[in-house]
């Protein structure tokens, strides 16, 4: 699907489908939609009334133009209530419209720029949202299907704008929206692939390829090397798996090619470590999951997928901030060498941990990964992990949980998420609960009872971050979704967009 911008009138576009829009409750369209209505002798306003089309967010209505304008059909998409309008609504409307186009098997599509002039959004933001929504809404994971293959039919998506002064901003919004969309879909593909394809060594190969293509440094440790490095918690989780674990590290350093200059006082680029949980399948280990909760645990590497997608995007964006990507990747399996509940291991940071529940494996591998990052003296650590079922209970399927020891960092990440349709909700790092993780025989244990599960997961990881600014994104609640305007049932690619946006804003 190619995105282009054209200067001209919507009424003159030759295409299979022309996309226009309407705010909820509007009966007499104005602006560009109004111009199309006029050219069609009032067909849009007439049909809105007849069909009782309310223009709820994502609602669509298709009309034949019968040769009155060069476009064969017009698709009207609802933007929802004007007072609730923001970039996510643009994305959702664009997603619904894009999907409507593929249902009509449209190849050539012309579209209004959603949101221009509404909700205080810039032209560039509107173009970014329109493109990103179209890409995400028409995403399909087809690789393993031999029949009933749904495919995005759109070949050219043309944003059409009358005023020539807006074209440059629209083009830059298109470019950025495409990069975000492509990156998020890259993460989605990795998550949607089953665990018999996406193994730890597969993730390592993907990392190497990204590093090779972009000239990044890449270090991969195997089972022996992970043990030798002193990451006993990570090794312990990997012990039950016959698939070899991999510790993956990719480093991006800004150089003279970097688009944005570093701003730190010492004139050294700031550095951010992004860490992704890379459990390629989570059986629970000896603390075995039930059938119902085990199905779907191929998604337990969603954090890793996002981190890889972000590094791929860094190759194109080259921001003025150093990024270290760290992915501890293993299966949590139940082979004969698997660890037992109650076993004790020494973390890379030196603290001992009693594994009270082998199914709380994510925090174990992340403990060693964050300790590794602090040793590199990075300025900030952001870890992303499908960490707890408790987070799903708290937030449902569309909002990630975020915890942080640095309120500014948390605020910035939440704002970054809002700008690309990824919701984050801050949960409390309530340190009084830390006492629940006391162990009789070790420095701490990895789980405690049933309540406040998401908080305890975050508190456990915090033990290993030292004084470094740190945020933990629990994306168990957002890594997969049902069919929505922006996702097919399956991977969402969250929080790829949030991290890219955050990094770019940090580099400014
Ligand atoms: N990968 C799971 C968390 C998860 C659950 C992600 C549901 C997506 C959907 C994690 O490793 C896990 O099993 N966590 C346990 C922790 C518990 C034993 C304290 C959980 O949430 O049940
Ligand atoms: Zn688990
Ligand atoms: Zn897990």
CA dist., res. 385 & res. 371, Å (int): 16
- Calculated CA dihedral for residues 326, 327, 328, 334, nearest 10 degrees: 170
Is cis: bond before 319, omega within 30 of 0? no
Q: Which of 388, 397, 458 has the most ligand 1 atoms within 8 A of CB, as the residue to mutate? A: 388
What's the whole-number average pLDDT of the chain?
96
| 278-295 average pLDDT score | 98
| 75-95 average pLDDT score | 97
Please give the pLDDT value at position 266: 57
CA dist., res. 176 & res. 182, Å (int): 10
| 396-416 average pLDDT score | 98
CA dist., res. 81 & res. 74, Å (int): 21
Where is 383: in which H helix or E strand?
A: strand 380-385
CA 145 to centroid of ligand 2, rounded, Å:
29
Phi-psi region of 431 (alpha: psi -120 to 50; beta: other; left: phi over 0): alpha
CA dist., res. 501 & res. 274, Å (int): 13
Cβ–Cβ contacts within 10 Å for residue 154, how many?
22
CA 471 to centroid of ligand 1, rounded, Å:
19
Question: DSSP letters along 138-153, please?
Answer: T----TT-SSS-----
In this predicted structure, the answer to whether residue 125 has a pLDDT above a threshold of 60 is yes
**Ligand 1 atom 7, closest CA:** 389
Distances (CA, A) of 175 to 130, 236, 320, 377: 11, 44, 19, 34
108-122, 460-474, 477-491: lowest mean pLDDT where? 108-122
CA 474 to centroid of ligand 2, rounded, Å:
13
For 189, counting Cβ atoms within 10 Å of its Cβ (0-12 exposed, 13-18 middle, 19+ buried), the class is middle
Please report, rounded to a whole number, the percentage of residues in the chain having pLDDT higher than 70.
Answer: 98
Q: Which of 283, 292, 293, 359 has the most ligand 1 atoms within 8 A of CB, as the residue to mutate? A: 359
| 9-26 average pLDDT score | 97
Distances (CA, A) of 443 to 341, 353, 361, 496: 16, 6, 17, 34
CA dist., res. 495 & res. 413, Å (int): 10
pTM: 0.97
Q: Which of 295, 360, 454 has the most ligand 1 atoms within 8 A of CB, as the residue to mutate? A: 360
Which atom number of ligand 1 is nearest to the Cα of residue 284?
Answer: 13
Residue 118 binned pLDDT confidence (cut-offs 50, 70, 90): confident
In this predicted structure, the answer to whether residue 115 has a pLDDT above a threshold of 80 is yes
In this predicted structure, the answer to whether residue 322 has a pLDDT above a threshold of 80 is yes
CA 125 to centroid of ligand 3, rounded, Å:
36
Please give the pLDDT value at position 116: 82
Residue 256 binned pLDDT confidence (cut-offs 50, 70, 90): confident
Phi, psi of 459 (to 5 degrees): -60, -35
Which strand ranges, in their side-by-side order, compose the sheet holding 344-346?
344-346, 352-354, 444-445
Q: Which residues have CB under 6 Å of ligand 1?
A: 282, 300, 357, 359-362, 386-390, 392, 447, 453, 476
**Ligand 1 atom 8, closest CA:** 476
Which has the closest alpha carbon to 387: 303, 471, 317? 303
Which atom number of ligand 1 is nearest to the Cα of residue 480?
Answer: 8
Please give the pLDDT value at position 119: 74
Catalytic residue numbers? Answer: 289, 363
Please give the pLDDT value at position 450: 82
Residue 407 binned pLDDT confidence (cut-offs 50, 70, 90): very high
Which atom number of ligand 1 is nearest to the Cα of residue 447?
Answer: 19
Which atom number of ligand 1 is nearest to the Cα of residue 456?
Answer: 19
Considering every ligand atom shown, identify the ligand nearest to the alpha carbon of residue 388 and give its number. 1
For 303-350, strand residue ranges (E) read 322-332, 344-346
CA 456 to centroid of ligand 1, rounded, Å:
12
| 387-395 average pLDDT score | 98
Report residue 343 as tokens.
Answer: 């076993």
**Ligand 1 atom 13, closest CA:** 359
For 89, counting Cβ atoms within 10 Å of its Cβ (0-12 exposed, 13-18 middle, 19+ buried), the class is buried
């Amino acid at each position: 699907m190619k995105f282009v911008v054209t200067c001209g009138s919507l009424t003159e576009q030759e295409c299979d489908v022309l996309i226009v829009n309407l705010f909820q409750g509007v009966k007499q369209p104005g602006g560009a939609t109004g111009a199309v209505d006029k050219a069609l002798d009032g067909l849009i306003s007439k049909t809105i009334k007849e069909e009782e089309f309310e223009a709820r967010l994502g609602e669509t209505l298709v009309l034949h133009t019968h040769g009155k304008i060069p476009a064969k059909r017009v698709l009207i998409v609802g933007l929802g209530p004007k007072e609730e309008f923001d970039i996510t609504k643009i994305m959702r409307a664009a997603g619904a419209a894009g999907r409507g186009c593929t249902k009509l098997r449209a190849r050539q599509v012309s579209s209004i720029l959603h949101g221009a002039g509404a909700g205080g959004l810039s032209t560039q933001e509107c173009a970014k949202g329109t493109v990103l929504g179209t890409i995400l809404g028409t995403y399909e994971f087809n690789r393993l299907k031999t029949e009933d293959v749904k495919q995005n039919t759109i070949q050219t998506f043309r944003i059409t704008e009358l005023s020539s002064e807006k074209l440059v901003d629209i083009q830059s919004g298109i470019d950025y929206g495409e990069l975000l969309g492509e990156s998020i879909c890259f993460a989605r593909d990795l998550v949607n692939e089953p665990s018999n394809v996406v193994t730890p060594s597969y993730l390592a190969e993907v990392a190497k390829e990204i590093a090779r293509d972009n000239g990044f440094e890449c270090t991969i440790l195997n089972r022996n090397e992970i043990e030798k490095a002193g990451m006993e918690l990570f090794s312990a989780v990997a012990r039950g798996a016959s698939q070899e674990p991999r510790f993956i590290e990719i480093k991006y350093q800004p150089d003279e090619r970097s688009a944005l200059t570093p701003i730190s006082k010492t004139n050294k680029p700031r550095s951010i470590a992004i860490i992704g949980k890379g459990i390629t399948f989570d059986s629970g280990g000896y603390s075995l999951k039930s059938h119902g909760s085990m199905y779907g645990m191929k998604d337990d590497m969603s954090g890793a997928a996002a981190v890889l997608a972000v590094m791929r995007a860094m190759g194109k964006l080259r921001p003025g901030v150093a990024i270290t990507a760290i992915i501890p990747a293993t299966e949590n399996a139940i082979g004969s060498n698997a660890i037992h509940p109650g076993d004790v291991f020494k973390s890379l940071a030196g603290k001992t941990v009693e594994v009270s529940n082998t199914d709380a494996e994510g925090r174990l591998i992340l403990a060693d990964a964050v300790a590794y990052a602090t040793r590199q003296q990075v300025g900030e650590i952001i870890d992303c992990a499908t960490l707890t079922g408790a987070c799903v209970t708290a937030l449902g399927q569309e909002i990630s949980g975020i915890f942080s020891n640095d309120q500014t960092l948390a605020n910035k990440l939440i704002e970054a998420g809002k700008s690309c349709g990824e919701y984050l909700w801050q949960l409390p790092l309530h340190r009084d609960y830390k006492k629940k993780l006391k162990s009789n025989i070790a420095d701490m244990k990895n789980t405690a009872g049933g309540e406040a599960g998401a908080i305890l997961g975050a508190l456990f990881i915090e033990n290993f971050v030292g004084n470094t600014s740190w945020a933990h994104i629990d994306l168990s609640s957002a890594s997969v979704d049902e069919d929505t305007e922006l996702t097919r049932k399956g991977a969402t690619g969250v929080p790829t967009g949030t991290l890219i946006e955050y990094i770019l804003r940090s580099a400014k």
